[in-house]
């Protein structure tokens, strides 16, 4: 899973991105294109399991984060969308707009003034135009191809693309359109920009700490039809936080009244927005979080661990994390009746601890 940091030049993407490196399990840099970082998804539940089992190793779920170079002012004093920018943005499963709200005269905004609403509007409009152009072309192509062939897939796709086109023409991003599983599948190869889940992360400076809730509320209501989540954050403070020891970090966060670091909030929110959840495998060797989609069956979840587990699945031993913590051991969970054996059709819940029985 990949999320892309998207925005105008100097909005704070790299500053935010660099806070990730303390969490990074592997990194890779390519200056021509986006910089990639594989980041651990923080999970208190997994940490607590590790406290109980004291395993040789803990393996968190991971997410890939792309730092995409921001849009600059071009020679005619305008900020223009480039094809390489669009390509870099398309590659992601979810988007994070990093929007500048911090004031600092030594750092020039590519549109000269600080106006978060204008910047959001700019990105949303450009991406919507790009989607409309794609849909228009696709419609034409489908109609042409239908004259030549009787492909059933084209017949199914046509009304779907028409529905999307009409929606986009009303200046509504495609993510606000309700789609079913088959429709999502048809569209999955097209990488439509406004179909991607969106978090709008607004970067404030310290002077805004007292007013930030109100400002975010205003932005939210202005863009209530965007289907986006809003997260305010303080890139500079976050960066300083990431350089501290855990103990100092706690004190610092308390002083500033920050409950959760932006990084942790961003990773958690993107996980939810993509319909992802975790199950755990635990033991003295390893405590590990695995990523699955909502509504995965026990057998599908087993397949995430190993294809053999899918093919030779017999049953899953299941106890939910909350019960496990409440009773303290598998034996006590068994006595309480919350430890159970489930078949392959069992729908795994977020936070289930599984042990797969297989041939
Ligand atoms: N004063 C202040 N400066 C900030 C803040 N966030 C970022 N900066 C500074 O703004 C400059 C640009 O920040 P970057 O994080 O590099 O911006 P970027 O979005 O990665 O920019 P591009 O990669 O060029 O698109 C840096 O000098 C940062 O130190 C902030 O909250 N307050
Ligand atoms: Mg940058």
Please tell me the number of Cα atoms within 13 Å of 2 on its side-chain side: 17
Instruction: For residue 351, give its domain range.
Output: 295-358
Q: Which residue has the higher pLDDT, 39 or 89?
A: 89
Identify the nearest ligand to the CA of 9 by its number. Answer: 1
Q: Average pLDDT of the chain?
A: 91
Does position 30 have pLDDT exceeding 50, yes or no?
no
With a 6 Å cutoff on the Cβ, whether 347 touches ligand 1 is no
Could you tell me what percent of the chain has a pLDDT over 70? 96
Element (H, E) at 38: strand 35-40
Domain check: are 339 and 226 in the same one? no
Spatial neighbors of 87 by CB under 8 A, at least 6 apart, are none
Does position 260 have pLDDT exceeding 80, yes or no?
no
With a 6 Å cutoff on the Cβ, whether 100 touches ligand 1 is no
In the reported structure, the alpha carbon of residue 6 is separated from the centroid of ligand 2 by a whole-number distance in angstroms of 10
CA distance 237 to 191: 34
Domain check: are 331 and 212 in the same one? no
5, 12, 34, 98: residue to mutate for ligand 1 pocket, most atoms within 8 A of CB: 12
Does position 29 have pLDDT exceeding 60, yes or no?
no
Q: What is the mean pLDDT of residues 332-353?
A: 96
pLDDT at residue 37, rounded to an integer: 83
Domain check: are 141 and 27 in the same one? yes
Domain check: are 8 and 121 in the same one? yes
Identify the nearest ligand to the CA of 8 by its number. Answer: 1
Q: Which residue has the higher pLDDT, 30 or 40?
A: 40
Helix extents (H) in 188-315: 212-222, 235-242, 246-256, 262-273, 298-305, 307-311
Query: How many independent structural domains does the chain possess?
Result: 2
Domain check: are 125 and 218 in the same one? yes
Identify the nearest ligand to the CA of 29 by its number. Answer: 2
Under a CB-based contact definition with an 8 Å cutoff, are residues 233 and 242 in contact? no
Domain check: are 192 and 144 in the same one? yes
Take atom 18 of ligand 1 and give the residue whose Cα is closest: 10
14, 67, 72: residue to mutate for ligand 1 pocket, most atoms within 8 A of CB: 14
Domain check: are 218 and 125 in the same one? yes
Domain check: are 258 and 319 in the same one? no
What's the CATH number where 158 sits?
Answer: 3.40.50.300
With a 6 Å cutoff on the Cβ, whether 73 touches ligand 1 is no
83 phi, psi to nearest 5 deg: -65, -35
Domain check: are 225 and 317 in the same one? no
Q: What is the mean pLDDT of residues 134-155?
A: 93
Q: pLDDT confidence of 238, banded at 50, 70, 90? A: confident
Does position 31 have pLDDT exceeding 70, yes or no?
no
In a domain, 282, yes or no: no
Spatial neighbors of 162 by CB under 8 A, at least 6 apart, are 139
């Amino acid at each position: 899973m990949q999320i892309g940091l998207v925005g105008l030049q100097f909005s704070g993407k790299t500053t935010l991105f660099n806070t990730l490196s303390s969490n990074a399990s592997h990194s890779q840099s390519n200056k021509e294109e986006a910089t990639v970082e594989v980041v651990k998804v923080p999970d208190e539940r997994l940490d607590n399991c590790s406290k109980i089992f004291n395993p040789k190793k803990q393996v968190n779920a991971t997410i890939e984060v792309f730092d995409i170079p921001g849009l600059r002012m071009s020679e005619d004093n305008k900020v223009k969308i480039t094809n390489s920018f669009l390509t870099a943005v398309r590659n992601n499963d979810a988007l994070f707009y990093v929007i500048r709200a911090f004031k600092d005269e030594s750092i020039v905004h590519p549109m000269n003034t600080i106006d978060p609403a204008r910047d959001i509007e700019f990105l949303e409009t450009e991406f919507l135009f790009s989607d409309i152009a794609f849909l228009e072309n696709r419609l034409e192509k489908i109609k042409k191809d239908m004259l030549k062939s009787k492909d059933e897939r084209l017949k199914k796709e046509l009304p779907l693309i028409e529905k999307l086109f009409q929606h986009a023409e009303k200046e509504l991003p495609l993510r606000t359109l309700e789609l079913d599983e088959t429709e999502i599948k048809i569209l999955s190869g097209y990488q439509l920009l406004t179909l991607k889940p969106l978090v709008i992360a607004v970067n404030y400076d310290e002077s805004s700490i007292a007013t930030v809730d109100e400002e975010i509320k205003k932005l939210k209501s202005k863009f209530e039809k965007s289907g986006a989540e809003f997260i305010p954050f303080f890139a500079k403070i976050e960066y300083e936080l990431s350089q501290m020891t855990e103990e100092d970090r706690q004190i610092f966060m308390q002083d500033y009244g920050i409950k959760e670091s932006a990084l942790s909030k961003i990773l958690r929110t993107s996980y939810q927005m993509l319909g992802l959840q975790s199950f755990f495998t635990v033991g003295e060797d390893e405590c590990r979080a695995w990523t699955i989609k909502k509504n995965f069956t026990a057998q599908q979840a087993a397949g995430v661990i190993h294809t053999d587990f899918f093919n030779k699945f017999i049953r899953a031993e299941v106890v939910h994390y909350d019960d496990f913590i409440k009773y303290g051991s598998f034996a006590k969970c068994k006595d309480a009746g919350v430890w159970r054996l489930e078949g392959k059709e069992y729908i795994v819940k977020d936070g289930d601890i599984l042990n797969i029985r297989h041939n």
